[in-house]
A and B are shown apart, each in its own frame.
Chain A
Amino acid sequence: MKPRAPDLRALRLVVCLGPGGVGKTTLSAALAVHGATLGRGVDVMTVDPAPRLLDALGLDAAGAGPHEVPLDRIKAPRARAACGAPKTRLRALRLDPKTTFDSIVARHAPSDAARAAILENRIYRNLSNALAGVADYMAMEKLLELSGDPGTELIVLDTPPASEALDFLDAPRRMLELLNSRAISLLGAPAGIFRGRLRVVDLAARAVLAAFDRITGLNMLADVHSFVQSFDGMYQGFADRAKAAEALLRAPGTAIVMVTTAEAARVEQAREFVAALERAGLSVAAMVVNRVMEDLPDEGEIAAAKISPALKRKLRRNRADFAALKEREAISLGALRATLPTGAALMVMPELNREPRMIADLAELGGLLRAV
C-alpha cells in the first residue's frame, strides 16, 4: 500500500528540510497557503525568502513580527467557503536570527548588567553572527513562540539552507551542549554551571589552549571566560526551551518533509539527509520532489497537424530533447523511491515555469502537490 501523504487538515507542524537551492521557501509558502485554503489558522516562517516571494506574502524587508496575509485574492472556491471558518488565517514571518537571539538573551538574563555584558561580548557577537547553528537554534526558538499562540493550528517551517539535515533539528541539543560542556569548565567557568569533575587531561588541554591563544594572537580566552560567566543563571531557561523543541519535533502532529529537486546531486544529498534523520530516530513523512517537468505532449498529434514538414521535424526533435530530460528525471525519481524509508510518501510538485508573484500563484502550487 502506498504511504499516505501528510494531511494538512490534521497536522500541527510541517518542517521543510532539504539541500540549498531546491525551492524550500517557495514550497513552504505554498503549503501554508494551501493549509489556509483548507480553512485552518496557519503561520508560515520563512528564512531568507526571494524578493518576489516576500511580495507574494506581503512581507517587506522591515517586518520582523508575524504579518497577516490577506486571503481574499485567492480565487479557489474552496478558499472562499473556508474563509468563513472561524480560525482561518495566514500569517507569515521571516526569521532574523540575530534579533531573535538578542531577545532571548534579554528574556533570560537575570539582570540588566548581565544582559549588557552578553550583548557586548566579542564571543557572543561572533557566535550570533557567524555560527550557522545559531540561525537553526533561533528558528526553533521562534517555532516554540508560535506554537504557544492560541490562533495557530498549523505551523509551516522553512529551515535555513543546511549542508547537513541534522544541523537544524539538532540545534537545541547542540546549544545546550555548548552551554553545559566541559569547555565551559575548562575555560574557567564558575562552578554553578559546571557538571562533572575536572580531569587532569582537561587541565593539560587548558594549558594548551592558553598557548594557542598566545601564538595565534587571538587573546580570546578572557572573552570566552566572561561570556560563560555572563550566561550563568540562564542555563535552565535554555534547557527548558531545548527540551520543549525536541518534544515538539517528535510529537504525533508533526511532519518532517524533505524537499529536493530531481537533479542527481540534489537527490544524492536528500538521500543522505533522510538516512541521517533515520539514524537520529526521526522519520520523514514525505519526500517532495520540486520542479518536476509536466508530462510530454503526444507525438502522434504532430503528424496530423496542418503545418509544414520542416516545422514537424522541429517539433519531433524538440519533443525528443525534452524526452531525454524527462528520462533523466525519471532515473532520479526511481533512485529516490528505491531508498525511501517505509511510511514516507514520495510526492512531486510540478514546475510552474514562472516565479510565484502573487498569493494566487502560491495557492495554485499548493494544490498541485501530489503523491506519486
Chain B
Amino acid sequence: MTLPRLLFVTGKGGTGKSTIAAALAIALSRRRPTTLADLDRRLAAATILGATPAGAAPACVNDRLDVIALSARAELESFIERIVPVRAISRRMLRSRTFGYVTAALPGLEAFLLVERLRMMAGDAALQDRAVVVDAPASGSALELLSIARGVRGIAPVGTLGHLADNVEAFLADRQRFGVVLTVVPEELALKEALESAATLRERLGIAVVAAIVNRAPSALFEAAELAALGGLPRHASLANRRRSAHQFAAHARRELAAAGLRAFELPMLYTAAVGKREVHTLGRALAAQLADR
C-alpha cells in the first residue's frame, strides 16, 4: 500500500505506541531509509531500538534507520534564534523568565513549532526518498498538537507565525505527506478512544488516518468446546478464557475499525519476560508482511 511520507503514531496511553512506532520504523526501513522521530522526553522508542540520540543530532540504528529526538522547547529555541539573529540577544531572551511566561501564556506556541518541524522533516524526506515515523504523545495531547495550527492562525492572522500556520495546516491535510496511525489494544476503552480519535481527525481536522494497529492480540489457543470441558480446573479455565476473550475482542476491534473505514493491522501478544530489541524486530517483521499484503 502507498503510505504518506510521514506517519504519526498515537493512541490511548498504555497501548504500546512507542513499541509500535519502533516496529513500524523497522518495517518501513526495509523499503527505504527511515527516520524515527521520538517526541517522548524519555525516548522510549529510541531506547527500545538501542539508540541514544543526543541533542539535535540523529543516532544510527543501522544504515537504513536512524532516530532523532524532538522537543517543543528545542523548537522554540531555534525559532527564536531564527527571528532574532543576534545570538547574544536571543540567548538572553530564552534565559529570561519573563519570556518564559509570555510563551507560556500563548496557546501552544512551542507545540505549534514542533508540528512545523515535522512539516520540514517531511519536506526533506521527500527530497531524499526517506520515510518518517513519529512516536507522538497519547491521543489526547496528540489531537491538541494537531489542532494547534488553527489556534495559532486565530491569534496571529498576519506576520511570520500566521504564514507558518497556513503552511502547517496544508501539510496536515495533504495525504501524500501526512497520515496518522492509531494504536489499539484488545480493550473496550482503547477501541473507543481510537474510534473517537479517528472521527475527530477526519471530520473536525480533515486529517487522514492511514491505519489502526491492534496490538497485543493473542492467538485463541482454545476452542469454545475445550473451555466447556475445563469445569474441574476453574483457575486454568479462567486463564484460558481470558486469552480466548482477548483474542475475540481483537477480532471484534478489527471489524469495528474496518466498519469505521480504517485499515486494521494486528500485532501478536508477545509472551516474553521482556520487550526489547529482539521483540520489536519480531513485530517489525509482522508489520512488514501485512504492509506487503495490501
Contact = CB atoms under 8 A, between A and B. Distances in A.
Interface of A: 19-22, 50, 122-123, 126-127, 129-131, 133, 161, 163, 178, 181-183, 186-187, 201-202, 204-206, 208-209, 211-212, 214-220, 224, 261, 263-266, 268-269, 272, 296-298, 301-302, 305-308, 311, 314-315, 317-322, 324-325, 327-328, 331, 353, 355
Interface of B: 12-14, 18, 41-42, 44, 80, 83-84, 89, 92-93, 96-102, 104-108, 138, 140, 151, 155-162, 188-189, 221-222, 226, 229-230, 232-233, 235-236, 238-240, 242-243, 271-275
Give the dominant DSSP class at A's interface.
helix
Nearest to B226: A311
Given A123-B105, A216-B159, A19 B13 contact: yes
Nearest to A163: B41
A20 B138 contact: yes
A336 to B, nearest CB: 16
B232 A306 contact: yes
Contacts of B242: 353
B229 A307 contact: yes
A266 B105 contact: no
A216 B161 contact: yes
Contacts of A314: 221-222, 226, 240
A269 B18 CA distance: 14
Contacts of B151: 130
B160 A216 contact: yes
Contacts of A130: 107-108, 151
B161 A218 contact: yes
Contact of B239 (A206, A220, A306, A322): A322
A5 B269 CA distance: 34
Given A209-B98, A217-B157, A325-B271, 10 more contacts: A129-B107, A130-B108, A208-B84, A211-B84, A218-B159, A224-B105, A298-B235, A302-B233, A305-B232, A328-B273
A315 B243 CA distance: 11
B92 A217 contact: no
A131 B104 CA distance: 7
B14 A205 contact: no
Contacts of B240: 314-315, 318
A318 B242 CA distance: 10
B159 A317 contact: no
A297 B92 contact: no
Nearest to A164: B41
Given A161-B140, A212-B83, A302-B233, A218 B155 contact: yes
11 contacts: A19-B13, A21-B12, A202-B98, A205-B92, A205-B98, A208-B84, A220-B155, A264-B274, A315-B236, A318-B221, A328-B275
Nearest to B18: A265
B158 A217 contact: yes
**The 10 A-B residue pairs with the shortest CB-CB distance in the complex, in nearest-first order:** A217-B159, A21-B13, A297-B235, A321-B271, A130-B107, A183-B101, A21-B14, A183-B98, A327-B273, A20-B13
Contact of B14 (A50, A263, A318, A353): A263
Contacts of A317: 221
A218 B154 CA distance: 10
A325 B218 CA distance: 13
